[in-house]
Chain A
Amino acid sequence: MTYQIEIEGVDKHYGAYHALRDVDVRIPTGQFVALVGPSGCGKSTLLRTIAGLETISEGRIRIAGRDVSSVPPRERDIAMVFQSYALYPHMTVAGNLMYSLRLKGMSRAQARARAEEIAAITGLSDLMHRYPRELSGGQRQRVAMGRAIVRSPAAFLFDEPLSNLDAALRVHMRSEIRKLHNRIGATSVYVTHDQIEAMTMADHVVVMRAGRIEQQGAPLELYDRPVNRFVAGFIGSPAMNFVEGLVTEDGRHVRLALPGEPALAFTGRRPPGEVVVVGLRPEHLTPVGGDQAGGNRLELPVALVERTGSASYVVSDTEPSILIAATERLAGLRDGMFAVAIDPACVHLFHSDTGLALDRMG
């Protein structure tokens, strides 16, 4: 496999503040990679170091095999879409699209033709003579996208390009961007704090926290096998439930710190008596009839039921409260007890101090 962007052991300091800590990411050619994490975790900083807008304190960055660690942005052959779009306000849409081509030394006529071509793809053909201030938010967003793809760069960098759009347009542009990527096939790094965006758009997701990479891999791999409690809680919506638990004598069950201390089976085994944090995804807790026996069951008092039509959310009246996401309507459920079952393979166990996912042998 050939790698288009290779980031090796990158550290970044802003004065005394350590913004990136030993970051390693390797992006195969043509992949769409999402960087996710909470606000302030260093996603934009990492993207800007790839672009060359920030210098790195330590480590190496290679683009298309060439070490660019100390190369200025203009020689890196990358295109960037800024969160604020950063359209040149004193140039028309055509001017914005042609700017980088003209800098590369392309003739006016050629640049014009190429800009028209891109405008047709992005649906901007009728707006070529407008100035950015005369465009709607969605149109500006498309100009920003167009300005990036017009160059056929070695890689695309996106810094939360959809965060200024309303919800409906965001969902629409999400699939547009992904379709565009499927067509052009250029390596892309996409920053977002919205894990749904990351999960739906990317081939490879990198989860960051406080300047560190917590886990990276295919979206469903992160969902199925989070390496720690942070990733488990960050990926997936609604978020995973966490409850303290105690591994039972046989090492195959865990007793939850909930009323009645129910025990749940999990796959594999852990040392008996170990204190752990149990992670249960709301959508893995499936409602079962109250009289049905057996299975990996949990009975919970109901505090609240929310129905959206396509899904129903049950909040348990416990401390901590457990959220259940069911696809049924659960008509008639109001209060009283509610029984759910879970597949032992879906019971996640984390170390109670470090939060690391626990290996389960045999």
Chain B
Amino acid sequence: MLRDDRFARAGLLAIALVLVGLYLFPLYWMYVTALKTGTEISAWPPRFWPETPDVAVVEVWERLRMGTFLWNSLIIALGTTAVVVLLGTGCGYALARVRGLWMDVALFLILMMQVLPSSLMITPIFVAFSQFGLLEYPRLSVILAQVAKLLPFYVVLVRATFLQVPRELEEAALVDGNSRLGAFLKINVPLARNGILVAAVLIMLQALGEYVYSRSLIQERAFQPATVGLQSFMGPNTSDWQGVMTYAAIYVTPILLFFVLLQRQIVSGLTSGALK
């Protein structure tokens, strides 16, 4: 019995490892290719480990002007996240606390907005923004467009975490002498902290990877984010695969590290002990 169990477990583990391998293979290939020289990349059969690892980070950073691109990406991502968190947290809370027909309608509309694809929305946004003269500030207009796109997602996520904070806690705070706003900031927000954090990170990752709005709303190269910048180096005639892959690696590695570090923060059971 015990032996069977162990075999079954080993089998499941093997399957899991294969799936993870499949899933992570592109990532692996990106890093490996970034370390290969041009001739080695086109070699057949492909090598799974470069003969002579060739790190081109500094050279690519300089040549492809990555500093500017990453800076723009960061501004857009942080700006989007900040606006979304500021506007969306209170909204998610209200949707979690107030019940009624109108709230259901509001929630439905919010979910509807989530469904519309950006490639469809970009035309009206472009027209409207150019009429308002917002295109003068290309990065700001990308931030605004992305906020509109990502806010519903954030609101829905954050509403779910506020639903888990017991109502009695804020009532206790009200009776203890706090105002509505004070109770929200001192009781609800700290208790929903993990949910808010996770949602904010998801928003930031989305904003970092965004392409359609930046591509259409930002004409000037100096304001483009890394996603658009990378695209402009790729095409049917691309030969500098090492450069492109190094670029991608530089872009992705910090995000990956960030995500791994954050895993520790995603702990549950913060509210346990409040009730009963």
Interface presence of A208 (CB below 8 A): no
B270 lies within 8 A of A90 (CB): yes
**Is B168 part of the binding interface, using a Cβ–Cβ cutoff of 8 Å?**
yes
- Docked-complex contact A131 and B171, CB < 8 angstroms: no
Query: Would you call A84 and B168 a contact (CB within 8 A)?
Result: yes
State how many angstroms separate the Cβ of A55 from the closest Cβ of chain B.
Answer: 13
On whether A100 and B275 interact (CB within 8 A), knowing A84-B166, A84-B168, A89-B270, the answer reads: no
B178: which A residues are within 8 A, CB to CB? 74, 103
Chain B residues, CB < 8 A from A84: 166, 168, 274-276
Query: Does A78 count as interface, using CB distance less than 8 angstroms?
Result: yes
Q: Please report the C-alpha to C-alpha distance between residue A100 and residue B176 in the assembled complex, in whole angstroms.
A: 5
- Judged by a CB distance under 8 angstroms, whether A51 is at the interface is yes
A86 contacts B174, CB within 8 Å?
no
Q: Is B273 in contact with A134, judged by CB distance below 8 angstroms?
A: yes
A86-B275 contact given A100-B176, A103-B177, A104-B177, CB 8 Å threshold:
yes
Check A89 against B271 for contact (C-beta < 8 Å): yes
* B191 x A90 contact (CB < 8 A): yes
> How distant is the Cα of A100 from the Cα of B172 in the complex, in angstroms?
10
- One digit per residue, 1 when the CB lies within 8 angstroms of any chain A CB and 0 when it does not, for chain B 178-213 equals 110010000100110000000000000000000000
Chain B residues contacting A53 (CB-CB under 8 Å) are 171, 174-175
B174 and A85 contacting across the interface, CB-CB below 8 Å = no
Pairwise interchain contact A73-B271, C-beta atoms closer than 8 A: no
Residue of A88, A131, A164 touching B172 (CB-CB under 8 A): A88
Q: Specify which of A85, A104, A131, A147 is in contact with B276 (CB 8 Å cutoff).
A: A85
When C-beta atoms are compared, the residue in chain A nearest to B176 turns out to be: A100
- Asked whether any CB of chain B lies closer than 8 Å to the CB of A338, the reply is no
Q: Is A87 an interface residue (CB 8 A)?
A: yes
Give the docked Cα–Cα distance between A89 and B191 (Å).
8
Contact A89 B175 (CB under 8 A): no
Contact between B274 and A132 (Cβ–Cβ < 8 Å)?
A: yes
Closest chain A CB from B168 CB (angstroms): 4
A86 touches B177 (CB 8 A): no
B165: shortest Cβ distance to chain A, in Å?
Answer: 9
Closest-CB distance, A4 to chain B (whole angstroms):
17
Contacts of B271 in A (CB 8 A): 89
Decide: A86 and B276 in contact? CB cutoff 8 A. Answer: no
CB distance from A46 to the nearest CB of B (A): 15
Say yes or no: B177 contacts A100, CB within 8 Å: yes
Interface residues of B in 221-276 (CB under 8 A from A): 269-276
Residue B169 interfacial (CB < 8 Å): yes
In the bound complex, residues from chain A placing their C-beta under 8 Å from that of B168 are 82, 84, 86
Inter-subunit contact B187/A88 (CB<8 Å): yes
- Decide if A90 touches B174 in the complex (CB within 8 Å): no
Q: Do the beta carbons of A89 and B272 come within 8 Å of each other?
A: yes
Which residue of B has the minimal Cβ distance to A85? Answer: B275
**A86 and B273 contact, Cβ closer than 8 Å, known pairs A99-B176, A103-B177:** no
A86 to B174, CA, bound (A): 12
A86 to chain B, nearest CB (A): 4
Interface residues of A in 80-115 (CB under 8 A from B): 80, 82, 84-90, 99-100, 103-104
The digit string for B142-184, where 1 denotes a CB below 8 A from any CB of A, is 0000000000000000000000001011011111111100100
Q: How far is the CA of A82 from the CA of B190 in the complex (A)?
A: 21
Q: A74-B179, A84-B166, A84-B168 given as contacts; is B174 within 8 A of A131 (CB)?
A: no
> Assuming A73-B171, A89-B169, what are 14 further A-B pairs, CB within 8 angstroms?
A51-B171, A53-B174, A74-B175, A79-B176, A80-B175, A86-B168, A86-B169, A86-B274, A88-B274, A89-B270, A100-B177, A131-B273, A133-B273, A147-B176
Q: Which residues of A contact B (CB under 8 A)?
A: 51-53, 72-74, 76, 78-80, 82, 84-90, 99-100, 103-104, 131-135, 137, 140, 147, 151, 164
5 inter-chain pairs at a CB distance below 8 angstroms, sorted by A residue, are A72-B179, A85-B274, A85-B276, A99-B176, A131-B273
Q: Which residues of B contact A (CB under 8 A)?
A: 166, 168-169, 171-179, 182, 187, 190-191, 269-276
Closest 6 CB pairs of A and B: A133-B273, A132-B273, A86-B168, A100-B176, A84-B275, A103-B177
